[in-house]
Amino acid sequence: MHRLFHVANNTALWVLCVSFLALLLVWRRRPKGLPLPPGPPRRFLISNISDLPRKFSHLGYNALCKRYGDIVYLDAFGMPLVLLGTQQAAVDLLGRRSAKYSDRRFSVMADLTGFSWFFAVNPYGPKWRKARRAFSETMNPNIVARYRPIGERAVRRYLLRLLEDPENYRSNALYMYNGTIIAVAYGLDVHAKSDNDKYVKIAEKTMKSFHEAFGLGGNYVHRFPILKHLPSWFPLAGFKRRLPEWSADARRLRDEPWEAAMKALNEGKAASSMASVLTGDANTEEKVSIAKSACASAYAAGADTMFATFNMFVAAMVLFPETQRLGQAELDSVVGRDRLPTIRDKAQLPYLSALLLEVFRWQPVVPTGVSHLAMEEDEYRGYHIPRGAVLLPNSWAYSRDPLVYPDPEEFKPERYLRNGKLYVGEQDPGTFVFGYGRRVCPGRYFAEEMLFTTVASVLQCFDISGPRDKEGLPVKFELKFMDVSPMLPEEFECHIRPRSTAAESLVRTACSEAEVAGLE
């Protein structure tokens, strides 16, 4: 009984302390001459906590912006949030004023967990700039061309898996993208029976730990850094019990594939990779550390989003079969049926290019984008934006703007075509899908090439159709989503079959025995 009373007193004391800190933060961030952006009224002690959506936040944030305006202010227990409800507001602040809005809010948790090597969660500053520069040097369009054989080999292997095991198209796709990133970053050829397969497993476990760490404890620690000094039994400090596991996973992904890559390079067995590019200039301890971080960041930033985007493509083909037929007709006309398409065919495949753009727009896999942190006070449209405010773009809302994308719920690749040619203009979904300003995704060029090669190759060889009843007749298909990041469709039944016996032969011929070693 005494112990319960003691715990209750500790909890009450904690609530009072947090409430005081929240009120202090609100007072310190009071408007200075200008009003804060409009938003729901703040309640005593809890501020706007009850206004924050608990699931599918992009929908809740969009509803708030529809009610209060293009920019909306919320107070999340002392942390100011600014919702950017339109693409124009996001471009104005995160793009054109990127010097003021390039910081991140996860730096405390990154240091605690060992994920500080992932530059996407680093605060803006010299360390971030060096890591970003190293990553960009290995992911610019000229360097990305060196990785094309890796991507093409991975896609061919996936086509064979799709032929032999179509029901597991989803798990096989995840393996394809995981293995591709490991190969691009480290020059390690990954397939199911290779020694390098363990690095895919390391990467998958590490990213699970990453999402747990930054989802369970990151927000609280950032708002109240004192939590990192408190015992793990203290309220909101329970995350500390998981720190050893998370830190071990972060170290393994950063160090073990790198060590294998260095061994292969020294033995003259390594393929061209990010590691091989960066090693040439890594002549100091700091540069080696930056190179290791850049390679590990490639996996953390790329595999999950490519996998999620591919799943959205499959769903679109089920729901909008006419677009599939039009894409296949273009492939037959340009590429023919006796070889697989490559990225070099892209300029002659405008409809396929438009189809991929529409996949990006139709269901953005990071619907709320990535938050930015205001590094100084600012004024926008007559409103005060406090220093330390977290700005949240809403990519999903921008993709639904009917003035830019008429019939936004429909899947229409022709949005980006004029007179049979690709014409994007101001409709380019890449302007919100890949981020803004100095935080724009540096892996964009590789991701676009890899996804185009996958989409074109799958459509060249396979038909994708939806679920059927016991008599083999189509049944109504309703697309539902998982509330995860990146956003994924719930698993759904679909039928993936070769377009013809010639298509099946093409897959088997294109995937030589050397290419598919260990896949059986």
Could you list the residues known to form a binding site for heme, using ranges.
Answer: 441
- Smallest Cα–Cα separation from 156: which of 121, 191, 187? 191
- Smallest Cα–Cα separation from 498: which of 162, 176, 168, 167? 162
Please state, in angstroms and rounded to a whole number, the distance separating the CA atoms of residues 96 and 426. 16
Number of CB atoms found within 10 A of residue 5's CB? 9
Please state, in angstroms and rounded to a whole number, the distance separating the CA atoms of residues 43 and 67. 18
Dihedral sign computed on CA atoms, order 69, 123, 365, 491: negative
Please state, in angstroms and rounded to a whole number, the distance separating the CA atoms of residues 308 and 356. 13
> SS3 for 27-93, per residue?
HHCCCCCCCCCCCCCCECCCECHHHCCCCCHHHHHHHHHHHHCCEEEEEECCEEEEEECCHHHHHHH
Q: State phi, psi for 75 to the nearest 5 degrees.
A: -115, 110
Please state, in angstroms and rounded to a whole number, the distance separating the CA atoms of residues 512 and 78. 60
Q: What is the DSSP letter of 474?
A: B
Structure-token match 């990071």, residue found: 366
Helix 501-510, helix 444-461: angle, nearest 10 = 140
Q: In terms of DSSP H, where are the helices of 95-140?
A: 107-113, 126-137
Please check whether residue 364 is in contact with residue 435, taking contact to mean a CB–CB distance below 8 angstroms.
no
Please check whether residue 75 is in contact with residue 108, taking contact to mean a CB–CB distance below 8 angstroms.
no
Ramachandran assignment for 140, one of left (phi > 0), alpha (psi -120 to 50 degrees), beta (any other): beta
- Smallest Cα–Cα separation from 147: which of 106, 105, 181, 193? 181
Q: What is the DSSP letter of 391?
A: E
Strand 417-418 to 79-84 pairing:
unpaired
Please state, in angstroms and rounded to a whole number, the distance separating the CA atoms of residues 83 and 391. 6
Q: Quote the radius of gyration of the chain (alpha carbons, Å).
A: 24
Q: For 460-498, b where at least 16 C-beta lie within 10 A, e where not — what string?
A: bbbbbebeeeeeeeeeeeeeeeeeebbbbbeebebbbeb
Please state, in angstroms and rounded to a whole number, the distance separating the CA atoms of residues 103 and 402. 31
